[in-house]
């Protein structure tokens, strides 16, 4: 079912006509003044920015068919780009849906009809914008990081999200131990709402302590690759970090790794949305093209 036209959508469409009318009044010389300098993250397959702006008719069809509903329409600050579709990863990233319905729905080809797979999206490029806070570089496990910042009072949402990521990583015996402690038959994703609802301060303290002893904590954060919709394309690999003090690394059982973005990254934004740090250590630069690194080192997937 297509999304109903909302009041916000109506006003954005109306404002588009106002901006276009302004371009006519001011003439060709005034058009650059109406063009935003900010490059928004466009849906998959968007043509180069100038061609996209000329081709997009602001119909909103891509927004209406978007399964996760992460596409929004630009406001008046975007000048001639008002009413055009864009995505804000931290509010909801593109998950590169099978068949790319947004592309199929575009009536003008502003979203290139020649692409049909997520790996062809070419939206932008992920960049390690805050390497100093990256958990992989610090040798920190993302589950422990999140649990350390989760209090019993805030458990309803934060704990549910953390457990959703944790459960698939646990061994059979670890699941069995947690199930027994929490009084569950089996520890599965479907049981997480019940776990959160019945959690007590005592069980919460036990859970945090036990998780710190699980096998998955021996690996630093890899969430950017683990949650990537095209992870099989290896859009990110991890390079061993060089320690300033080699002796200190011997004391840390978790190897420090740097995430390195590869040519196969399409800039969907899922890594930015899922990055545990605030603000995200990895972000998307719209329209950015991949460039090879000069230095080659041994990598791990």
Give tens-digit pLDDT for 114-137.
999 999 999 999 999 999 999 999
**Residue 114 structure tokens:** 């020649």
For 71, the 3-state DSSP assignment is strand
Domain boundaries, the chain: 7-122, 127-139+220-300, 143-218
For 260, the 3-state DSSP assignment is strand
Residue 247: predicted pLDDT: 55
**Residue 144 structure tokens:** 């422990």
Give the whole-angstrom CA distance, residue 208 versus residue 148: 8
Residue 191: predicted pLDDT: 86
The residue whose two tokens read 């200190």 is 248
Whole-number percent of the chain with pLDDT over 90: 64
Binned at pLDDT 50, 70 and 90, residue 19 comes out as: very low
**Residue 98 structure tokens:** 């099978």
Cβ count near 142 (within 10 Å)? 25
274 against 37, higher pLDDT: 274
Binned at pLDDT 50, 70 and 90, residue 1 comes out as: very low
Residue 78: predicted pLDDT: 77
For 134, the 3-state DSSP assignment is coil
Nearest 5°: the CA angle 186, 275, 190 is 20
Q: Mean per-residue pLDDT for 161-169? A: 92
Question: pLDDT tens across 221-269, in order?
Answer: 999 999 999 999 999 999 998 766 555 444 457 899 999 999 999 999 9
Binned at pLDDT 50, 70 and 90, residue 195 comes out as: confident
Question: Does residue 215 have a pLDDT over 50?
Answer: yes
Question: Does residue 98 have a pLDDT over 90?
Answer: yes
Q: Mean per-residue pLDDT for 103-120? A: 97
Residue 34: predicted pLDDT: 52
Binned at pLDDT 50, 70 and 90, residue 23 comes out as: very low
Residue 244: predicted pLDDT: 60
Least confident of 14-18, 154-158, 178-182: 14-18
Residue 245: predicted pLDDT: 56
Give the whole-angstrom CA distance, residue 228 versus residue 249: 29
Question: Does residue 24 have a pLDDT over 70?
Answer: no
- Integer angstrom CA distances of residue 108 from 2, 23, 46, 112, 113: 19, 22, 11, 9, 9
Q: Which residue from 165, 139, 134 is spatially nearest to 150, judged by alpha carbons?
A: 165
Least confident of 35-44, 133-142, 174-183: 35-44
What is the rounded average pLDDT for all residues in the chain?
Answer: 85
């Amino acid at each position: 079912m297509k999304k109903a036209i909302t009041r916000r959508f109506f006003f954005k469409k109306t404002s588009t006509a106002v901006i276009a009318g302004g371009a006519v009044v001011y003439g060709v010389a005034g058009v650059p003044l109406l063009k935003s300098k900010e490059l928004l993250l466009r849906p998959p397959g968007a043509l180069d920015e100038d061609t996209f702006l000329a081709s997009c008719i602001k119909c909103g069809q891509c927004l209406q068919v978007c399964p996760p509903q992460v596409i929004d329409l630009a406001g008046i600050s975007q000048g001639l780009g008002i009413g055009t579709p864009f995505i804000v990863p931290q509010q909801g990233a593109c998950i590169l849906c099978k068949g790319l319905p947004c592309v199929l729905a575009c009536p003008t080809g502003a979203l290139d009809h020649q692409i049909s797979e997520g790996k062809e999206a070419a939206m932008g490029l992920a960049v390690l914008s805050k390497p100093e806070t990256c958990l992989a570089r610090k040798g920190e496990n993302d589950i422990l990081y999140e649990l350390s910042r989760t209090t019993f009072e805030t458990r309803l949402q934060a704990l549910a999200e953390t457990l959703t990521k944790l459960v698939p990583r646990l061994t059979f015996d670890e699941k069995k131990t947690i199930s027994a402690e929490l009084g569950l038959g089996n520890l599965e994703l479907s049981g997480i709402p019940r776990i959160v609802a019945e959690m007590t301060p005592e069980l919460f303290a036990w859970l945090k302590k036990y998780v710190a002893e699980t096998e998955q904590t021996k690996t630093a954060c890899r969430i950017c690759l683990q949650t990537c919709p095209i992870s099989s394309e290896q859009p990110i690999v991890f390079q061993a970090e060089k320690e300033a003090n080699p002796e200190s690394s011997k004391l840390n059982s978790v190897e420090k790794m740097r995430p390195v973005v590869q040519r196969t990254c399409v800039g969907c934004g899922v890594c930015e949305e899922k990055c545990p740090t605030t603000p995200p250590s990895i972000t998307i630069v719209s329209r950015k093209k991949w460039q090879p690194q000069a230095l080659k080192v041994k990598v791990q997937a």
